Amino acid sequence: MNRHLLSFLLGFIIAGSLVFFIMHYQSRQGSEVWAAGELISVRQAVEKRFSDISQEIVGRLAAFGQETAADQLFALRLIAEKNPSSPEVAGKAGEFLRPMGFAFLSIVDSAGTILSSGHFPTSRGDRMAEGAFGKLSEEPRLVEDNAAGKKTLSLQARAAFTVADSIKFYALGGVAMDEAFLAKLSPVTNVKVVLKRGREVIGMEGVTTMSEVNNGAVLLNGRQYPAFRIMLDYAGEGEPPELIGVLVKK
């Protein structure tokens, strides 16, 4: 073969390979940028949904407090007759628990004594555990609550209301951090939002191992997926839980 022709062919091959490499690199870089942008958008959507649910809890608690404050029978039985065991007082939270879409709802006085509990009726008359009342605030946060003898992670807040124009009470309540709650946080079907606390993972079936989120990815059962982490306001003991969003599309 002519030496000049051979040199031309070699140069053509090298140039073609270089162009292919550059195009492939640019395409890969573009895909990575697109994936990072998608991850940011999904995270923002999950944060927005979490915020919306939190504000719904705040609004419903405030409405429940206002309704209770305006309930003349509640005030009559509790304050005038001093009969906290009456159905109008003791059964108040239970009456509104499910209609409000809550898993937890209680009425307590300023000393932390439970006057009515929808999720744990037999706790009426008990004092809340030391420090438990102070862990709740006007903005929802994660706390562990006792639901009929079982500790459950929940998202709860408190709302103050006044009866008889002078006596302050509090409505405490919110939702359980369970699979149904986590499903509401997912903006699209190919995104799984899970709650991770140590080795325990809630919200996704078949998880045997799950790594920490690192550089926008997580190892799930040994396979890598794009992922992000959202730290939560936790007012409990032990290892704090975190939300992890996983993009599981193939």
CB 136 within 8 A of CB 130: no
Does domain 53-176 bear CATH number 1.20.120.80? no
pTM (two decimals): 0.83
Quick one: pLDDT at residue 1? 52
- The domain limits of the chain are 53-176, 179-247
- What pLDDT, in 10s, does the model give residues 92-127? 999 999 999 999 999 999 999 999 999 999 999 999
Distance CA 225, CA 249 (A): 9
Contacts of 213 (CB under 8 A, 6+ apart): 227, 228, 229, 244
Mean pLDDT of 192-215: 92
222 dihedral zone (left: phi>0; alpha: psi -120 to 50; beta):
left
- What pLDDT, in 10s, does the model give residues 30-55? 334 445 678 899 999 999 999 999 99
Question: E-assigned strands of 77-236?
Answer: 104-109, 114-117, 141-147, 150-163, 167-176, 191-197, 200-202, 217-220, 223-231
CB 196 within 8 A of CB 210: yes
Task: Report how far apart, in Å, the C-alpha atoms of 51 and of each of 57, 101, 183, 202 are.
Answer: 10, 17, 15, 20
